[in-house]
Structure 1
Amino acid sequence: MAVIQATDSDFNNILAENEKVVVKYYADWCGNCRLFSPKFKRMADNEQFKGIVFLDVNAEVSPEARKAAGVTNLPFFAVFKNGTLVDTVAASKEEAVVNLINKLN
């Protein structure tokens, strides 16, 4: 499944319409965010994570979505189940993000 670009205008609707969602918060100036993008896309295409929606949210232009997860650093990842925040991690290591996503199962 492709990574969906989300903003404040559609963020809550996406959470409400999907049981399991993982969000990557990024900023255009963030080098580690750019470096992680191909890994995030690969995760989104991985059969292991079938049924999980992957979102990219620009933290600088989506303050409401940023507040929903309490973003502190970038890149920042959050998992939501049935619209409720489950857990977060500020990391640029793939293993940390995989461990976070596995909390949805």
Structure 2
Amino acid sequence: MPVIDANDSNFKELISENDKVVVKYFAGWCGSCRLFKPKFKRLSGDERFEGIAFLDVNAEESPEARALAGVNNLPFFAIFKGGKLVEGGPMSKEDAVVELIEKLK
């Protein structure tokens, strides 16, 4: 499944339409965020995570979406199930992100 660009105008709709969602919050100035972009794209196509929507949110341009996950550092990853926040945190290691996503299974 391709990574979906999300923002304040469509975020709530996307997390309610999709039962299982993982969100990557980023900023244009964040080097670690840019480095993780291809990894996130690859994970979105991983068959282990079929049925999970992957969202990309620019944290600087989407304060409402950022507040819903309590983003306090970047890159920040959060998982939502049934439209509700399950867990989230700042992380830049792929293993930690995979571990977080696997909690949606």
Output the TM-score relative to the length of structure 1: 0.99
Partner residue, 1:82:
82
Residue of structure 2 equivalent to 1:94: 94
The alignment partner of 2:9 has SS state of helix
- Alpha-carbon distance in structure 2 between the residues aligned to 1:32 and 1:66: 18
Question: What are the equivalent positions in structure 2 for 1:1-105 lying under 5 Å apart?
Answer: 1-105=1-105
Code of the residue aligned with 2:62 in structure 1: it is S
Cα RMSD for the two superposed structures: 0.4
Deviation for aligned residue 1:69? 0.2
Task: Give 1:89 deviation, angstroms.
Answer: 2.0
Which stretches of structure 1, 4 residues or more, deviate above 6 A after TM superposition? none
Query: 1:89, 1:96 within 8 Å by CA — same for their partners in 2?
Result: no
Cα shift readout 1:24-53 (whole Å, capped 9, x = no counterpart):
000000000000000000000000000000
SS in 1 for 2:13: helix
* Structure-2-length-normalised TM-score: 0.99
Query: Counterpart of 2:10 in 1: which secondary structure?
Result: helix
> What is the one-letter code of the residue matched to 2:36?
F
CA–CA separation in structure 1 for the residues paired with 2:72 and 2:49: 25
Q: Contact conserved, 1:21 with 1:81, CA < 8 A, in 2?
A: yes
Question: One-letter code of the match for 1:33?
Answer: C
Unaligned runs of 5+ in 1: none
Q: Which runs of 5+ in 2 are unaligned?
A: none
Contact persistence 1:80–1:87 (CA under 8 A): yes
Q: Alignment length, in residue pairs?
A: 105
